Structure 1
Amino acid sequence: MLTWLCITFGVAFGSAVIPVISIEVFVIGLMTSGNSIPWLAVGAVVATGQILGKLLYYLAARGSIRLPEFLHCRLHRERPPSPRRHRWRLRTKKLRGWLDTLRERCHRHPHWMASTYGVSSVVGLPPFMATTVLAGLVRMRMSTFVTAGLLGRFVRFSALAASPAMFAGAFGL
């Protein structure tokens, strides 16, 4: 059982860092495989792995972690002006303005950002990755980030881990 929990932690951490990995599919597969792993333990392990993985994005958005040099140089180097880049700036001007407005609102109403992040950690809408980065950009307190994220992810993945057993019991399987 401990081996499966360690593997689950690794997959949860990996899915938080590399978003194409689906922890939801892994949890359902694990719980339907016949292992006698308690669903609460799976929920706790996945929540911990997910938040530790998302903490990297949060800290990077906050500016506490410096990006690798090859990314840093690419993002901040001076580029010669081009018509294509000018068109792109014009197209994204509205989006950048919206993001600046959103950031300002989050600074003025920190509870709004905490509740949005908490709902996102349970439901997944707005996308949890986006709210994680936004939480770092608006400099949400780390204790709020970790607490709301852990609670929300625990609820989400505990319910997901318990769902195969609930359906099997409901249908007499």
Structure 2
Amino acid sequence: MLGWLCVTLGVAFSSALIPVVSVEVFVLGLAAAQPTLHWFALGLVVAVGQLAGKSIFYLAARGSIKLPKKLHDKLHARLHRERPPSARRERWHARTEWLRTKLDALRDRCHRHPHWMTGTYGVSSIVGLPPFMATTVLAGLVRMPLSTFLAAGLAGRMIRFSALAAAPAVFSGWLHF
């Protein structure tokens, strides 16, 4: 039992870092295959693993984690290389400028209404809409307090994954549309 919980922690952590890994499918499969695992323990382990992984994105967006110098230099060298102008690059620059403006407006709104961001992040941690990865990064950008980030995220993720682990037969039917 402890072995499965350790594997689950690793899968949850990796799915937080690499979004193509589906911890939901893993939880459904594990809960169906190992009925002796308690649904609450499974939900708690997945929530802790998810928050541990997402905290890296949160701290990076907040500016608390810096890229290693080698990666930072490569990124900036690629961004600041002289390139001949192209229409495609100009369109892309215009699109990203629009996005940057929208993100700045959203960040200002989150600063003015911090409870709105906490509510959005909490709902996202349970439902997944807006995407949990996006709200994690946004929480870091607007400098949501770490305690609020961890409390809301852990509670929401526990609800989500405990429900999945408690009723794998109900939720597994959704996967066969």
* TM-score w.r.t. length of structure 1: 0.91
User: Does 1:133 pair with 2:137?
Assistant: yes
- Larger deviation: 149-158 or 74-83? 74-83
User: Does 1:12 pair with 2:16?
Assistant: no
**Secondary structure at the counterpart of residue 83 of structure 1:** coil
For residue 82 of structure 2, the aligned residue among 49, 68, 80 is: 80
Task: Give the conservation status (yes or no) of the 8 Å contact 2:29–2:168.
Answer: no
* Amino acid corresponding to residue 140 of structure 1 in structure 2: M
Say if 1:166 and 1:127 are closer, same or farther in 2 by CA, change over 3 A. closer
- Larger deviation: 1-10 or 82-91? 82-91
Taking only the aligned residue pairs, the percentage that are identical comes to 66
Say if 1:166 and 1:21 are closer, same or farther in 2 by CA, change over 3 A. closer
1:95-154 CA-to-partner distances (Å, cap 9, x unmatched) read 111111001111111111111000000000000000000100111000000000000000
TM-aligned CA deviation for residue 81 of structure 1: 5.0
CA distance in structure 2 between the partners assigned to 1:95 and 1:38 by the alignment: 44
TM-aligned CA deviation for residue 30 of structure 1: 0.3
Runs of 4+ in 1 over 4 A off after TM superposition: none
For residue 161 of structure 1, the aligned residue among 162, 165, 177 is: 165
Give the equivalent residue in structure 2 for 1:65: 65
TM-aligned CA deviation for residue 28 of structure 1: 0.5
Structure 1 residues without counterparts, runs of 5 or longer = 168-173
Structure 2 residues without counterparts, runs of 5 or longer = 172-177
CA distance in structure 1 between the partners assigned to 2:156 and 2:90 by the alignment: 41
Q: For this pair of structures, how many residues does the alignment match? A: 168
* Amino acid corresponding to residue 45 of structure 1 in structure 2: V
- Larger deviation: 143-152 or 81-90? 81-90
C-alpha RMSD over aligned residues: 1.7
CA distance in structure 2 between the partners assigned to 1:128 and 1:82 by the alignment: 38
Give the equivalent residue in structure 2 for 1:36: 36
Give the equivalent residue in structure 2 for 1:96: 100
CA distance in structure 1 between the partners assigned to 2:111 and 2:75 by the alignment: 25
1:34-54 CA-to-partner distances (Å, cap 9, x unmatched) read 340000000000000000110
Give the equivalent residue in structure 2 for 1:170: none
- Larger deviation: 71-80 or 1-10? 71-80
TM-aligned CA deviation for residue 163 of structure 1: 1.1
Give the equivalent residue in structure 2 for 1:147: 151
Within a 5 Å distance, the mapping from 1:117-128 to structure 2 comes to 117-128=121-132
Task: Give the conservation status (yes or no) of the 8 Å contact 2:8–2:45.
Answer: yes
